[in-house]
Amino acid sequence: MGNVKSTAENAANETVISRRMPNPKLVDRVLAPIRQQIQDLVVSTGKSSKGGPKMMRVLDVACGTGDQLFRLRRDNQIDYGLGIDLNPESIQYARERAQAAGLVLYNDDNDNHDCLEYRIQDLQDLQQQQQTETDNQFDIAMATLFFHVVPWPTAVSLLMTMSSMAPKLIVAAFVPGEKWQDKLLLWLDQRFTSHYAAFCHYLEKGSFEGLLQECDNCLEVEQVLLTNDATIRIYVLRSKAFVNGQGN
């Protein structure tokens, strides 16, 4: 096909991200078993750190309602959690919920490092910011159900950026189900979203496994976990940038 791009690819590059927040309580309830699996992985990473158990700094890209970091901080399992999302409504919800539960939110006026920080930010700025801020290292960088939402080239560059920010990545991502019923349910779930074109392109490129192939020089797979949803898997990845105990 030479350099003729597929229709899905052209459409996907023009994806418009929805600014509407889906019902946050419903989303968090549906994803609760997956959040728990991720929480367990974070805790076991902390326990098995070199030099003994440690409390950690965790980055959640496209954090949505902020629920994953909320649970970790509420249960005193991380020191600092940074959640980034483009959607102001989601970030507002995350901040208000954390505050209502008595959790400390980051604030420019204090130097408290044991806190949660939720930022409204386009992740496309993260790479540039990573190059200019020295303070941007984490123990774990995570993302849940994000890479099918953005155009493929953005997904590739963001996954690479995440690999330069933390030695371990935990990603929950869609995979095409094996049974036709799973495929149909996934299609119905995505068909009427504003990122449907990006989702189609993501499947066409091999979903998260395809993304990993593109980032082969940055990341290696440590573990792949099944979840209660046949179309979602959790990938635990090691960043090659930190193999000798160093970042870049």
CB-based contacts of 219, cutoff 8 Å, min separation 6? 159, 163, 169, 212, 237, 238, 239, 240
Of 46, 64, 81, 151, the residue at the interface with ligand SAM (CB under 6 A) is 64
Cβ contacts of 67 within 8 Å, gap of 6 or more:
24, 27, 28, 31, 35, 94
Q: Tell me the pairing of strands 232-239 and 168-174.
A: antiparallel
Q: Which is nearer to ligand SAM, 45 or 144 (CB)?
A: 144
Q: Partners of 17 in the beta sheet?
A: none
Show the tokens assigned to 189: 């779930």
Binding status of residue 13 toward ligand SAM by CB under 6 A: no
Nearer to ligand SAM, 4 or 87 (CB): 87
In this chain, which of 8, 12, 42, 86 binds ligand SAM, going by CB under 6 A? 86
User: Judged by CB under 6 A, which stretch of 39-47, 58-66, 71-79, 220-228 contacts ligand SAM?
Assistant: 58-66
For 2, phi then psi, to 5°, come to 55, -140
Stretch that binds ligand SAM, among 70-78, 140-148, 162-170, 183-191 (CB under 6 A): 140-148
- 85, 117, 139, 229: which one binds ligand SAM (CB under 6 A): 85
The widest CA-to-CA distance across the chain, in whole angstroms, is 57
Site for ligand SAM in 141-200 (CB under 6 A): 144-146, 149-150
Distance CA 34, CA 46 (A): 19
Which positions from 90 to 119 touch ligand SAM by CB under 6 A, shown as an x/- string?
Answer: x-----------------------------
Question: What order do you get walking across the sheet with 116-120 strand by strand?
Answer: 116-120, 78-85, 56-61, 140-144, 168-174, 232-239, 219-226
- The single residue among 38, 123, 218, 241 that binds ligand SAM, judged by CB under 6 A, is 123
The contact set with ligand SAM (CB under 6 A) reads 17, 27, 31, 62-65, 85-87, 90, 122-124, 144-146, 149-150
